[in-house]
Structure 1
């Protein structure tokens, strides 16, 4: 196959419509991220087939894809369940997430365009409104948009991709952080620190602000762990 044929093939792959299994995987992934499918909840192939009006094959393929990225796990005869993270693993993942977000912010301070910075400010205003309305559900969804824009402002492909993959793994747990008392208000001030550092072109300050924004330390970590029902975590 010559280069022209390869380009045509790649373009066709990029523009093709998603398969039924891919659509279902995206739906299930979003349900896990926003808490509609909780850690530990069983995924029954027959029930999912009936629920989404699909045959068993695309359901099985969707579950296999979720297994590959760690969002679900198999428990032998008990079947497939939404993945439950141990507390030590969860703490490590938040630490890595903080490091990755910090790196994105550092790069954004060097690379963000005026349009990137304006987009972050605009979404931040939506967060301010969600907090004023006492709406944690909307706040969480808009907050994801803010962080998406941060990754885009870094103008990096691999690091942003790795950050998003890890965010998916701990998404349902990050949702619970949003519900901690005072967390939404603190998020707003922490976002301002990140944006101000990016606007000032200060990579070190941006990295520090983003790292501290995501990392769970001290009382914040203790409060978060104590809020987790037994079904959402394992001790080991």
Structure 2
């Protein structure tokens, strides 16, 4: 049991280090990632590093080349804009469809998750906030019931979410984003279809602006990212 705990902590250390380096733009898009170099730098074996890389690959922050080597995934202004355009259209569809299928139990689940977001925002706990946000969107996707759209949304959001979360923490945006989720939930509960589109547009617009500002800041310090 102790061995598993120690191994898990090493994976977490490697994961958090890589996540910070990537979302802080110290590891640039397209940079190769050497398991040996990272393991040596962190003072761990290659196994937890490999597991951390695989975890980040699932989150869309790392990709594999044709020869199965890990590299930092691309994150450019163009990709951010494309991802946000797609999320805006698909989220509007999902929330609109979910509004017609929402039960009282579903509504309470969403309201509870918004409360958890607000509580996490108040303490600056971005991990707890992210968990509540993930639950919120997963629940809405399940209510809407379109598995294909849900998978597309999940994959698209996953590629930019970590950058947005870092930007929002630095810009003290977690609370206002929690409020935006509350507005969306209230529109769902009221089956106010006309309110859903503008609420989604505002939410995605802030996400877009936060990440683009972060990229601009990185470019000011590091040159073209």
TM-score, scaled to structure 2: 0.69
Matches within 5 A, 1:1-236: 31=15, 35-36=19-20, 38=22, 40=28, 42-46=32-36, 50-52=45-47, 66=57, 71-74=62-65, 80-216=70-206, 223-228=213-218
Cα shift at 1:85:
1.5
**1: CA distance, partners of 2:198 / 2:172:** 21
- Cα 1:139–1:70, aligned 2, differ >3 Å: closer, same or farther? closer
- Cα 1:35–1:101, aligned 2, differ >3 Å: closer, same or farther? farther
- Contact 1:127/1:188 (8 A) holds in 2: yes
Structure 1: 5+ residue stretches without partners = 1-26
CA deviation profile, 1:155-210 (whole Å, cap 9, x unmatched):
22111110001112223222223224241121122112101110011223223312
Supply the RMSD in Å over aligned alpha carbons: 3.9
Q: How many equivalent residue pairs?
A: 199
Flag the structure with more relative contact order, 1 or 2, with Cα contacts below 8 A and sequence separation at least 6.
Answer: 1
**2: CA distance, partners of 1:80 / 1:151:** 30
Structure 2: 5+ residue stretches without partners = 1-10
Q: Could you list the runs of 4 or more consecutive aligned residues of structure 1 that deviate by over 6 angstroms after TM superposition?
A: 230-233
- Contact 2:122/2:175 (8 A) holds in 1: no
Q: Which structure has the larger Rg over C-alpha atoms?
A: 1
- Contact 1:112/1:155 (8 A) holds in 2: no
